[in-house]
């Protein structure tokens, strides 16, 4: 990067001692091209590293579905345990088909849940075991599974290459920032990335499995047969995970709104009851109808709001202190 002239008097606006190099438009384009090339190269190499591991990649994005299916299957087995107990044992069933189902579930429940059940015998879970929720996702056309694997590989590659991509983006942007602006980035970007990852993990291991479970329990089996396509499932997984990752930026959004003067800390603090009520109402609609699940769903949102209030309170105190120093 060529650096010849300075962009004005030394110190810059409001910061004595700050100075920025001036680059031509062509220099900016060349620098951007270089950074983009390195980022794309890192992502492509990461995608290439993913391709030989189709089973591992599939197992990762199937994890929420497996969690949901296990919960559904455990409930299915508990229903059959009650039927067996009411009949006085397996022999109490008059129908041979019913006895076969009960015996199958009793014999193979543990091996199905710990994934040691023979994979070639999986259709028996739905047929003999009478579990209408499919154990495996369906491919609606010959290319569905392939394209979903490629999409998953690309997303995992982005995560794998993210340190290089973020460093290249920072190297390009940092050249145009004053030192005090860089300090803002150093202060808030790691916090934002941490919240983003927390939201992603929360959605992946909690919201997606329980959201699917709730929707599956709403189905009137016999009237509606579940048909879980791999492309529809992956879209559901991606949209919810991306949405929750953004929702977890709530504390920083609150801080930004407070700093630009759109909403004050006092206003956010005074309306906390209404905000929490909305959070719990939303969790009641998105989770199974039990108080424990609703509390665990709404809890992180409440914690994020409280964290946002703490950040806005500290920012307000700093602003007041600066105003007092200016008056003094």
How far apart CA 206 and CA 299 sit, in angstroms, is 13
Residue 149 reports pLDDT greater than 70: yes
Mean pLDDT over all residues of the chain?
Answer: 83
CA nearest 110: which of 67, 155, 68, 77? 77
Average pLDDT over residues 240-248: 85
Rg (CA), the chain: 27
Average pLDDT over residues 4-24: 47
232 is written with which tokens? 């529809």
| Top mean-pLDDT range of 16-25, 67-76, 89-98, 170-179 | 67-76
Q: How confident is the model at residue 83 (pLDDT cuts 50, 70, 90)?
A: very high
pLDDT of residue 157: 92
Residue 124 reports pLDDT greater than 90: yes
Q: Percentage of the chain with pLDDT > 90?
A: 33
How far apart CA 167 and CA 35 sit, in angstroms, is 9
| Contact between residue 158 and residue 165 where contact means Cβ atoms under 8 Å apart | yes
Average pLDDT over residues 3-18: 42
Residue 72 reports pLDDT greater than 70: yes
How far apart CA 228 and CA 133 sit, in angstroms, is 9
Q: How confident is the model at residue 2 (pLDDT cuts 50, 70, 90)?
A: very low
Residue 119 reports pLDDT greater than 60: yes
pLDDT of residue 22: 66
pLDDT of residue 269: 84
| Contact between residue 177 and residue 185 where contact means Cβ atoms under 8 Å apart | yes
Average pLDDT over residues 147-160: 92
How far apart CA 49 and CA 241 sit, in angstroms, is 24
pLDDT of residue 9: 39
Which range among 46-55, 61-70, 216-225 shows the weakest confidence by mean pLDDT?
216-225
| DSSP letters for 117-164 | S-GGGTHHHHHTS---S-SS-B-SSTTHHHHHHHHHHHHHHHHHHHHH
pLDDT tens across 280-314, in order? 887 677 655 556 556 766 778 888 888 888 888 88
Average pLDDT over residues 150-154: 92
Q: How confident is the model at residue 230 (pLDDT cuts 50, 70, 90)?
A: very high
pLDDT of residue 219: 82
Could you tell me the pTM of the whole model? 0.78
pLDDT of residue 1: 42
CA nearest 257: which of 247, 268, 273, 244? 268
For residue 123, count other CB atoms closer than 10 A to its CB. Answer: 12
Which range among 99-113, 138-152, 171-185 shows the weakest confidence by mean pLDDT?
171-185
How far apart CA 137 and CA 70 sit, in angstroms, is 14
Which residues are 138's β-sheet partners? 229
pLDDT of residue 290: 54
């Amino acid at each position: 990067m060529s650096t010849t002239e300075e962009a004005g008097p030394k110190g810059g606006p409001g910061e004595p001692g700050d100075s920025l190099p001036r680059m031509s438009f062509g220099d900016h384009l060349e620098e951007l091209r270089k950074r983009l090339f390195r980022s794309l190269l890192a992502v492509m190499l990461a995608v290439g590293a993913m391709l030989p591991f189709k089973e591992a990649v599939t197992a990762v994005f199937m994890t929420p579905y497996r969690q949901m299916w296990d919960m559904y299957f455990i409930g299915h087995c508990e229903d059959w345990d009650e039927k067996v107990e009411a009949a006085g044992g397996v022999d109490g069933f008059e129908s041979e088909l019913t006895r076969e189902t009960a015996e199958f579930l009793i014999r193979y429940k543990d091996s199905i849940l710990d994934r040691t059940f023979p994979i070639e015998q999986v259709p028996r879970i739905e047929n003999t075991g009478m579990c209408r929720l499919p154990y495996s996702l369906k491919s609606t056309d010959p290319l569905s599974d392939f394209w979903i694997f490629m999409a998953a590989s690309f997303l995992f590659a982005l995560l794998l290459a993210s340190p290089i991509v973020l460093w290249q983006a920072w190297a390009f942007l940092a050249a145009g920032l004053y030192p005090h602006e860089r300090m803002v980035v150093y202060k808030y970007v790691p916090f934002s990335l941490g919240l983003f990852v927390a939201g992603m993990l929360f959605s992946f291991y909690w919201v997606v499995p329980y959201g699917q479970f709730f929707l599956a329990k709403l189905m009137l089996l016999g009237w509606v047969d579940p048909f879980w396509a791999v492309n529809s499932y992956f879209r559901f997984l991606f949209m919810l995970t991306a949405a929750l990752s953004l929702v977890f930026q709530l504390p920083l959004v609150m801080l930004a709104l407070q700093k630009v003067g759109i909403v004050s800390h006092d206003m956010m603090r005074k309306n906390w009851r209404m905000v929490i009520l909305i959070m719990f109402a939303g969790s009641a609609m998105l989770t199974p109808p039990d108080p424990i699940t609703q509390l665990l769903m709404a809890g992180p949102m409440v914690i994020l709001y409280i964290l946002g209030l703490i950040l806005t309170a500290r920012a307000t105190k700093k602003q007041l202190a600066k105003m007092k120093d200016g008056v003094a």
